[in-house]
Amino acid sequence: MPVPIIIDCDPGHDDAIAIMLAAGDPSIDLLAITTVAGNQTVEKTTLNARRVCTVAGITGVPLAAGCTQPLVQPQLVADDVHGKSGLDGPQFAEPAVDVVPEHAVDLMYRILTRHPEPVTLVPTAPLTNVALLLTRYPDSAARIREIVLMGGSTERGNRTPAAEFNIYADPEAADIVFRSGVPITMCGLNVTHQALATPEVVARLEGLGTELGRTCAQLMTFYGSTYRRLWGFASPPLHDPVAVARVIDPAIVHCVDASVAVELHGHHTRGATVVDLHGYLGRPVNARVAVTLERELFWDRVIGAVDALGKRTT
């Protein structure tokens, strides 16, 4: 049976592919797409989600806009990585998919309470919406099967030497989520940096021969240029789809159990995920932490999903 999920995102080049993977893979039942301020303002991330759904032919999946600001600190955008629009590169047509007139957090809660089985949340953005869901609707926790998120790292950061973007952009929200008691799987930079969209991957996307395949290749080309400029990467890491892949098939992303705490006060380390891989602190385990990606399995699923959606829209 396909796993029912809600993806909470801030598209974003890698979020765009994560949405396509969730919509195009038969192992997932995509119940909703919700957006949040992150890579860009929520107005832009929502417009981008509508653009992605339109180009990929994703219809009938409710899409709702969420929080405009982090819980405590001012918003931080990643326009240096994703461009002014948040999804620079391809030219998108006028979106034909609209949002539902409901806040993302209310939509999540409604789905969680009505769906016959517990639902998996897949956040690929700052955790503001998810933290608000858990605090505003405390009974939602029991309806969440697990939270499989992209964020943090067992190693160093990408926004500061210590912190990864999704956690750094709203550390208080991340702290609420990691202390919630809901089962959590954390797909951090240490594993997402194994998902490099190499020239071979881009050629496979182009080689699908569909408009969608070409759009994805253009997205990867823009994203690759910023990763080369900012971090000297030869190929860009496709962070967010790793979390979706873990839900599709746990054998694609290997995990270990650990306690994870979010640093809120460190002068130089705010937003870091402190992952106790060796159990030094004796704290209870609160997360599965992704450590190894089966690269071939991963890319086969991503390209298979883009292929399936692309054929439907051609």
Residue number, 21 or 208, with CB nearest to Ca ion? 21
Q: Which stretch binds ligand BDR (CB under 6 A): 47-55, 56-64, 67-75, 163-171?
A: 163-171
CA distance 132 to 71: 8
Is 239 catalytic? The answer is yes
What does 223 interact with, of ligand BDR, Ca ion, none (CB < 5 to 8 A by kind)? Answer: none
**Chosen residue from 53, 65, 81, 289 binding ligand BDR by CB under 6 A:** 81
Q: Is the peptide bond before 12 cis (omega within 30 degrees of 0)?
A: yes
**Burial of 308 by CB count in 10 Å (0-12 exposed, 13-18 middle, 19+ buried)?**
middle
Strands 3-9 and 119-123: parallel
CA distance 97 to 99: 7
Which 84-113 positions form the footprint of ligand BDR (CB under 6 A)? Answer: none
List, edge to edge, every strand of the sheet that includes 144-150.
Answer: 63-65, 28-35, 3-9, 119-123, 144-150, 184-187, 287-293, 253-262, 273-276
Binding mask 227-246 for Ca ion (x = CB under 5 A): -------------x------
**Chosen residue from 8, 25, 164, 170 binding ligand BDR by CB under 6 A:** 164
Residue number, 164 or 175, with CB nearest to ligand BDR? 164
Is residue 167 at the binding interface for Ca ion, with CB under 5 A as the rule? Answer: no
**Chosen residue from 46, 124, 153, 215 binding Ca ion by CB under 5 A:** 124
Contact 255, 263 (CB under 8 A): no
**Chosen residue from 12, 57, 70, 89 binding ligand BDR by CB under 6 A:** 12
**Chosen residue from 3, 5, 6, 15 binding Ca ion by CB under 5 A:** 15
CA distance 201 to 119: 31
Which residues lie closer than 8 Å to 290 by C-beta, 6 or more apart? 185, 186, 187, 188, 190, 191, 242, 246, 253, 254, 255
Residue number, 6 or 210, with CB nearest to ligand BDR? 6
Which 284-303 positions form the footprint of ligand BDR (CB under 6 A)? Answer: none
**Active-site residue (options: 239, 265, 267, 268):** 239
Strands 253-262 and 287-293: antiparallel
Phi then psi for residue 12, to 5 deg, are: 85, 125
What does 67 interact with, of ligand BDR, Ca ion, none (CB < 5 to 8 A by kind)? Answer: none
Contact 11, 54 (CB under 8 A): no
Q: Which stretch binds ligand BDR (CB under 6 A): 9-17, 54-62, 97-105, 248-256?
A: 9-17
Contact 164, 153 (CB under 8 A): yes
Contact 18, 241 (CB under 8 A): yes
Q: Torsion over CA of 174, 70, 243 and 29, rounded to 10 degrees?
A: 120
Is residue 78 at the binding interface for ligand BDR, with CB under 6 A as the rule? Answer: yes
Is residue 164 at the binding interface for Ca ion, with CB under 5 A as the rule? Answer: no
Q: Which stretch binds ligand BDR (CB under 6 A): 104-112, 158-166, 172-180, 260-268?
A: 158-166
Task: Collapse the DSSP code of 282 into the 3-class scheme (helix H, G, I; strand E, B; otherwise coil) and give the result.
Answer: coil
Is residue 124 at the binding interface for ligand BDR, with CB under 6 A as the rule? Answer: yes
Interacting residues toward ligand BDR by CB under 6 A: 12, 14-15, 39, 78, 81, 124-125, 150, 158, 164-166, 239-240
Binding interface with Ca ion (CB under 5 A): 10, 12, 15, 124-125, 240
The catalytic residues are 239
